[in-house]
């Protein structure tokens, strides 16, 4: 069910939500958190779809702030429940004019009582999310540097403005890469890694974060190479150099990587690109700070530097 509320107020939105629950049986019981999505009008539907999908694992209230640029002062709203909202209830707020400037007041009256708050910026985000109006009220703050206009500048800004509770989908997309590399190094021969080469698209923040993680964890030289082949995007591969020979994990197809190790047959590893709902669901599983992400963005990127980067940029996103 979808209820449109043109030229409304937050008070009227709240009253309408209560009436829908009383008349239609939709309840807020069992909602485990409030997810606030800060975006622009016309860019919200993909994020809402991802939230609806993730709500099957994390029942929640979703508040979408879809800023309408260049309009007179006012607020239009929409409430979605039932089949139009997955296992959540979705409140879409379209503030315009001066109303859009007070994000905290727009959201505060609609938060679930005594429930954690997560804020997600699907595209552009504040340089220091924790210092923004919405970020100050949240336990977790999610960004997506790969979807920003300048992905590398975006992840660099996040590194400078990091606070505990921040995370980025460019890091979430690395979970399977990190697990696979850790599994390989957990097998004999237990030789130290002497150096690492990480390759990927020039504007892939996931590639930079993977190189920074390896630099931080292994404490060896890491070279970051840009893959300029046509259609290249995201991470291309990792080479771990050891005394017995290199270990290579290279993804040349969208969902499969080739693993090559000295003295062992080459084999394929499932390494699919992660969907937006998958990334969101993973980040909502934990509401405590991701300390490792903090170490990587604050210290790993600084240790990595940019001296090992070669080539030019390509298409974005891991």
pLDDT for 318? 42
Reduced to 3 states, what is the DSSP secondary structure of residue 203?
Answer: coil
pLDDT tens by residue, 36-79: 999 988 899 999 999 999 998 989 999 999 988 767 889 999 99
Q: Which of 38, 103, 113 is nearest to 75 (CA)?
A: 103
pLDDT tens by residue, 176-206: 999 999 999 999 899 999 999 999 998 899 9
Tell me how far apart the alpha carbons of residues 109 and 14 are, in angstroms, rounded to a whole number. Answer: 8
pLDDT at 150 over 80: yes
Residue where the block lists tokens 């429930």: 115
Top-confidence residue, 37 or 32? 37
C-alpha 142 chain-centroid distance: 6
Q: Where are the domains of the chain?
A: 2-168, 175-304
- Name the DSSP class of 227: -
pLDDT for 309? 40
pLDDT for 231? 54
Specify the range with the lowest mean pLDDT, choosing from 59-73, 212-226, 242-256.
Answer: 59-73
Q: pTM to 2 decimals?
A: 0.90
Treating both helix axes as pointing N-terminal to C-terminal, what angle do 45-54 and 276-284 enclose, rounded to 10 degrees? 50
pLDDT tens by residue, 77-111: 999 988 766 767 999 999 998 898 899 999 999 99
Name the strand (E) or helix (H) holding 206.
Answer: helix 205-218
pLDDT for 68? 84
What is the CATH number that goes with domain 175-304?
3.30.360.10
């Amino acid at each position: 069910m979808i209820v449109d509320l043109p030229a409304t107020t937050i008070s009227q939105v709240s009253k309408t939500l209560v009436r829908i629950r009383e008349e239609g049986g939709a309840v807020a019981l069992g909602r485990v958190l409030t997810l606030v999505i800060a975006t622009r009008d016309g860019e919200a539907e993909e994020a809402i779809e991802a939230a609806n999908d993730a709500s099957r694992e994390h029942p929640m209230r979703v508040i979408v702030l879809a800023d309408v640029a260049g309009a007179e002062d006012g607020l239009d709203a929409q409430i979605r429940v039932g089949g139009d909202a997955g296992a959540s209830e979705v409140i879409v707020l379209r503030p315009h004019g001066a109303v859009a400037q007070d994000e905290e007041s727009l959201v505060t009256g609609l938060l679930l009582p005594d429930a954690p708050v997560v804020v997600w910026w699907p595209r552009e985000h504040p340089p220091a999310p924790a210092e923004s109006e919405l970020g100050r009220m949240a336990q977790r703050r999610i960004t997506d540097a790969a979807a920003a206009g300048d992905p590398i500048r975006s992840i660099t800004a996040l590194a400078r403005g990091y606070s505990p509770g921040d995370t980025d989908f460019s890091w979430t997309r690395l979970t399977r890469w990190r697990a696979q590399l850790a599994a390989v190094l957990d097998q004999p021969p237990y030789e130290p890694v002497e150096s690492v080469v990480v390759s990927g698209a020039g504007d892939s923040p996931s590639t930079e974060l993977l190189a920074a993680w390896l630099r931080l964890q292994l404490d060896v030289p890491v070279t970051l190479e840009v893959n300029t082949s046509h259609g290249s995007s995201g991470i291309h591969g990792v080479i771990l150099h050891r005394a017995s020979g290199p270990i290579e994990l290279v993804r040349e197809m969208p969902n499969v990587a080739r693993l090559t190790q000295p003295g062992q047959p080459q084999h394929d590893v499932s390494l699919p690109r992660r969907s937006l709902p998958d990334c969101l669901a993973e980040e909502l599983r934990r509401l405590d700070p991701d300390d490792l992400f903090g170490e990587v963005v604050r210290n790993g990127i600084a240790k990595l530097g940019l001296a090992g980067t070669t080539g030019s940029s390509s298409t974005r996103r891991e």
